[in-house]
Amino acid sequence: KQEVTQIPAALSVPEGENLVLNCSFTDSAIYNLQWFRQDPGKGLTSLLLIQSSQREQTSGRLNASLDKSSGRSTLYIAASQPGDSATYLCAVTNQAGTALIFGKGTTLSVSS
């Protein structure tokens, strides 16, 4: 059974720091991996989608990498801002390709 783990569970940093969020999954037979952002009381906003054949994706200050063989992904946030404060969720597709399996998330707080 696929399990997704995110470390750390919570992270507090001062504005301007570069930071890395980690995601690991137990079954490397995934179709893709997606990083989401969730603000309190809100739904999920897709940040980056990495297909299984890709190794990384970039969008602005965000860079996500995927190492399928080791079952790991990282989300790198450059020059963090208070507006980046949110919960970041990592998810992989199930083997049927019909559903996402989520980690519990990393709650990020960026102070000004």
Partner 1 sequence: GAGVSQSPRYKVAKRGQDVALRCDPISGHVSLFWYQQALGQGPEFLTYFQNEAQLDKSGLPSDRFFAERPEGSVSTLKIQRTQQEDSAVYLCASSLAGTGLSYGYTFGSGTRLTVV
Which residues contact partner 1 (rule: CB under 8 A)?
4, 31-32, 34, 36, 41-46, 49, 51, 89, 91, 93-94, 96-105
| Percent helix, strand and coil across the chain, each to the nearest 5 | 5, 55, 40
CB of 112 to partner 1, least distance (A): 26
Q: Which is nearer to partner 1, 61 or 104 (CB)?
A: 104
**Contact yes or no for 69/25 (Cβ under 8 A):** no
Q: Which is nearer to partner 1, 98 or 112 (CB)?
A: 98
CB of 79 to partner 1, least distance (A): 25
Among candidate residues 7, 70, 2, 64, the one with its CA nearest the CA of residue 33:
64
